A and B are shown apart, each in its own frame.
Chain A
Amino acid sequence: MLNNIYNIFFIPEIFLACSSFVCLLFGLFLKKNAFRQTSNLAVFVLLLTILLVYYDRESNFANYKSLFSHSSFINFFKILALLGSIASVIISKDYFLGIKLKNFEIPILFLFSTLGMMLMIASNNLMSMYLAIELQSLSLYVAAAIKRDSISSAESGVKYFILGALSSGILLYGFSLIYGFTGSMNFDDISFYLSKYDNLNLGLIFGLVFVMVGLAFKVSAVPFHMWTPDVYEGAPNSITGFFAIVPKIAAVALIYRFCLVPFENFYLEWSQIILFLSIASMFLGAIAAIAQSNIKRLLAYSSIGHIGYILIALVAANDDGIKAASIYMFSYMIMNVAIFAILLSLKVKNEYLINISDLKGLSKSNPIVSLSISIIMLSMAGIPPFIGFFGKFYIFIAAIEQELYVLSVLGVLASVISAFYYLRIIKIMYFDETKSEGIINFQISFQSKIILSLSLFLIICFIFYPSLLINISASLTI
């Protein structure tokens, strides 16, 4: 065990919490370039946290009387969330400077939200889970409304806050029911208590349903997805990027852990709910995205669709499902980082790009960017040889292992429908004739360029050496 009290600062979460406060002070005392410097410091802090998470694998110190848990699955998702937030801090820096939104609090909000997510992923207790969710969400509510003088940003912040608070309330009520009927808040104790029974009583079923509703809201699964397109649309683009990339990772890890740890033995009860959420999300995500003209709304529906696929692997509830979810989540993060790195650097007549139709003619003025967008879109649609295909492939392997044939067939049908709107973006860039050229500017900072190239490299080259990621995800235990 650890005998030095200073070692407590090497626990990733505590380190991140303390460093976030340091960042806050740092930003406060800086006169010039506060935003830029704080962002750089935030990236540095997050990188250190990744190292700590990586080397913290073996210790059991962070359990805090089993408020939090420790496993390879948790560590994988923590690192994924940290990587996602590093990427989104870096790619959003120039955008914030571009729209003259230089509040140094933004990277700090990201840090606190990331801290909340790490706790969320690791939580092993209803209470710590709730508090972690709230820490994460509160930072995001503020982030959505950070552009105070913009009506749409404020609207999206308020909308997110009200609906988020409602879902938190439902979640909390579910927790109270579960606590009331099992007498414990700890996941392991709940699991132990439930193992004595063959089926859940009515109170526990209600509790489970309420918690599922709350969690479905957090992952934005249909029919609790309504906030997603509006919030994505209203928030500044870079905040949208953060929303799309990081919180989903934590929420997915949480819903996996909640279903597979305390309610492991009651597969039938929760799998029906997840099954419905999954099918509805896949199809609504695919169909509703077709009519969108705003790229952010389109990506919102696309992320709803992706959540549907991840939930297939949860319904499968086997080792392959966990593997599939981690591979899918990795590919989802990489693809979203890449697309947002591009979107945050595209300007149409000095305005950042919003309408899909503004992409017209991009293939002539900037062939490399349009080629990159095409590759990302094909990957998101799940067309081989890109990484998105392998994510879907592993999901279907998991589903068929569990003999979920109908669900798999529905899944592939939804993927065909969704291919339509991804292709539409390629169509706009390549097929539509345009006379006016050069209205689109692509300016990208060196750091974002590295992030973009790296993620494109992973999207394209995953096929050549898949085992690297697959061996890691195959070894994960929940």
Chain B
Amino acid sequence: MIDWPLVSVIIFLPLIGALIILFIKEDELTSINIKWSALLATLGTFILSLILWLQFDYSNPSYQYEEKFRWFDDFNFFYHVGVDGISLFMILLSTFLTPLCILASWNNIKKRVKEYMLSFLFLETVMIGMFASIDILLFYIFFEAVLIPMYLIIGIWGGNRRIYASFKFFLYTLLGSVLMLIAIIVMYRNTSSMSIEFLQGNFFSYNTQLFLWLAFFASFAVKIPMWPFHTWLPDAHVEAPTAGSVILAGVLLKMGGYGFIRFSLGMLPEATEFFIPLIMTLSIVAIVYTSLVALAQTDIKKLIAYSSVAHMGIVTIGIFLVNQQGLEGAMMQMISHGLVSAALFLCVGVIYDRMHTREIEFYGGLVQRMPLYATVFMIFMLGSVGLPGTSGFIGEFLVIVGAFKFSSYVVIGAAFGIILSAVYMLYLYKRIIFGTITNNKLADILDINTREKIILIPLAISVILLGIFPNLFLDPMRLSLELIITNYEIANAK
């Protein structure tokens, strides 16, 4: 095993990269150095996180690579980090997507390159830190600190309505998370512990659980987002720069799902049981409603944003089924959505960089000029639809299998959403890729270049890998998920 603090190094390596960048003076010549430093720091982080996966002990359901230091003298707050099967892939997702984001912004971020790279590196540190925290206060600090770089990324490098979108994003999510702060303090007051591991033992009375559950729900439902708390998402996605959308869809939405699994299921099992009908209803409404809304969109990014809400609906259904298939499906769906929607936003970025518009009407017949682009877009589009052989299929299939144990109405709702997702994605693909070029401005559009290939091909490979060898991902997380389900069932059997 590894005897050096691997997790802490992974968390803080991007921050060290950021500190180095802070001391590079920015001008025309050095901005390339800034980009390379950022890329190397994030790639280094990615490679280290692969070690995390390779050395991971599949037979251990609890935390591994633990590090624990006293942090506050008066209360039991610790700097306590570690990785288990649930957080492992969330961390990998973050470290995998960030270098791609840096590459995706290589040429199209022209102003304030230094601040941009600083924001991304800081963002990576807090994302990884959040998934690796075992102490809830530490978790909360990282959870809220995510808002700072994301606010700047949307606000400085975003589109026309960026100010509105950045404020909406910040205040909406802040409102959710401050209620979580109160819940955390109440939990601490009841148990004198902030350890996520320790608190998964059903310590709270039924009524306390209900209130705590609602407070956590406020935070995670906004983050994931669930209907009707999703309205910040389309604005934030549309206005954010490409890389911002990628991180937002790829990782930040997963924070909500991760929180539901860890906190709602793990710590408040009886309240979860009580609120399952609510979650199922909201999720089905989300799936059907947002799919229909996606169908009516004229902006490509907005369409993908709404499809994210629908996909996250599948995730919440899977989580709150609280059985092995449901949870594994939800995890797979989160990983898959992290890759697929990130890739779709990158694909939109490719044509946006060339034409500076995201109107669906503007495009058409791209296959004539960009065959390679049409191919990779096809892979991701099918991944989003959930075609067998792609990552999307595994998640949706497992969730639906799990849902049969719960209620066939949920299955009908989820399946209807999946059909609708095929409708809007295929319709989108038809409109922008197929046909002949009618718009003269598209006559000279170039196919993807080497940099874009380097970004999109690893994503395409992992989407297919995930679809063909799901056990590669399911095995490490299986025991951790089983532990959560066992605790849940014991608590509710009483």
Contact = CB atoms under 8 A, between A and B. Distances in A.
Contacts of B269: none
A6 B24 CA distance: 58
B9 interface: no
Interface size on B, as a range, is 20 to 34
Interface stretch (A137-145, A268-276, A413-421): A413-421
Given A409-B179, A416-B175, A420-B167, A378 B155 contact: no
B171 A431 contact: no
Interface residues of A, number: 33
Given A384-B140, A396-B185, A416 B174 contact: yes
Contacts of B444: none
Contact of B189 (A393, A400, A427): A400
B162 interface: yes
**Do most interface residues of chain B lie in helix, strand or loop, or is the interface mixed?**
helix
B152 interface: yes
Contacts of B151: 423, 426
B171 A416 contact: yes
Contact of B71 (A396, A416, A466): A466
Interface stretch (B142-150, B424-432, B470-478): B142-150
Interface in A415-470: 415-416, 419-420, 423, 426-427, 430-431, 463, 466-467, 470
Contact of B141 (A378, A384, A426): A384
Contacts of B155: 426-427, 430-431
A431 B162 contact: yes
B186 interface: yes
B210 interface: no
B242 interface: no
A193 interface: no
A307 to B, nearest CB: 19
A323 B148 CA distance: 28
Contacts of A415: 178
A383 B145 contact: yes
B31 to A, nearest CB: 14
Given A419-B174, A430-B156, A470 B74 contact: yes
B152 A430 contact: yes
Contact of B182 (A384, A409, A466): A409
B236 to A, nearest CB: 14
Interface string B116-159: 00000000000000000000010011001101100110011000
Contacts of A44: none
A22 interface: no
A467 B137 CA distance: 15
A408 interface: yes
A263 interface: no
B5 to A, nearest CB: 16
B166 interface: yes
B171 A420 contact: yes
A438 to B, nearest CB: 16
B455 to A, nearest CB: 27
A389 B145 CA distance: 11
A348 interface: no
B73 interface: yes
Given A430-B152, A470-B74, A396 B182 contact: yes
A327 to B, nearest CB: 10
A400 B186 contact: yes
A327 B181 CA distance: 18
B163 interface: yes
Nearest to B72: A466
A405 B75 CA distance: 20
Contact of B170 (A323, A396, A423, A470): A423
Contact of B185 (A378, A400, A470): A400
Contact of A471 (B74, B115, B137): B74
A426 B170 CA distance: 13
Contacts of A400: 182, 185-186, 189
Contacts of B170: 419, 423
Interface string A362-393: 01000100000000001000011100010001
A427 B163 contact: yes
Interface in B154-201: 155-156, 162-163, 166-167, 170-171, 174-175, 178-179, 181-182, 185-186, 188-189
Interface string B70-90: 011111000000000000000
A393 B75 CA distance: 12
A430 B170 CA distance: 15
A474 B74 CA distance: 8
A297 B170 CA distance: 24
Contacts of A471: 73-74
A283 to B, nearest CB: 15
Interface centre among A412, A413, A474 (most CB of B within 10 A): A412
A280 interface: no
A401 interface: yes
B141 A389 contact: yes
Contacts of B74: 323, 467, 470-471, 474
Interface centre among A363, A401, A405, A408 (most CB of B within 10 A): A408
B314 to A, nearest CB: 30
Given A389-B141, A400-B185, A470-B73, A383 B147 contact: yes
Nearest to A470: B74
A323 B75 CA distance: 12
Contact of A423 (B156, B162, B167): B167
A393 B181 contact: yes
Nearest to B172: A416
B178 A412 contact: yes
A467 B144 CA distance: 22
Contacts of B140: 384
A147 to B, nearest CB: 37
A261 interface: no
Contacts of B181: 393, 396, 412
Contact of A378 (B72, B112, B148): B148
28 contacts: A323-B74, A367-B115, A378-B148, A383-B144, A383-B147, A383-B174, A385-B141, A396-B185, A397-B185, A397-B189, A405-B182, A405-B186, A408-B185, A412-B182, A415-B178, A416-B174, A419-B171, A420-B171, A423-B151, A426-B151, A427-B163, A431-B156, A431-B162, A431-B163, A467-B72, A467-B74, A470-B74, A471-B74
- Shortest Cβ-Cβ A-B pairs, 4 listed: A412-B178, A384-B141, A467-B73, A431-B155
Given A383-B147, A412-B178, A420-B167, 17 more contacts: A383-B145, A384-B140, A385-B145, A401-B189, A409-B182, A415-B178, A416-B175, A420-B171, A423-B170, A427-B167, A431-B162, A431-B163, A463-B141, A466-B71, A466-B72, A467-B71, A470-B74
Interface of B: 71-75, 112, 115, 137, 140-141, 144-145, 147-148, 151-152, 155-156, 162-163, 166-167, 170-171, 174-175, 178-179, 181-182, 185-186, 188-189
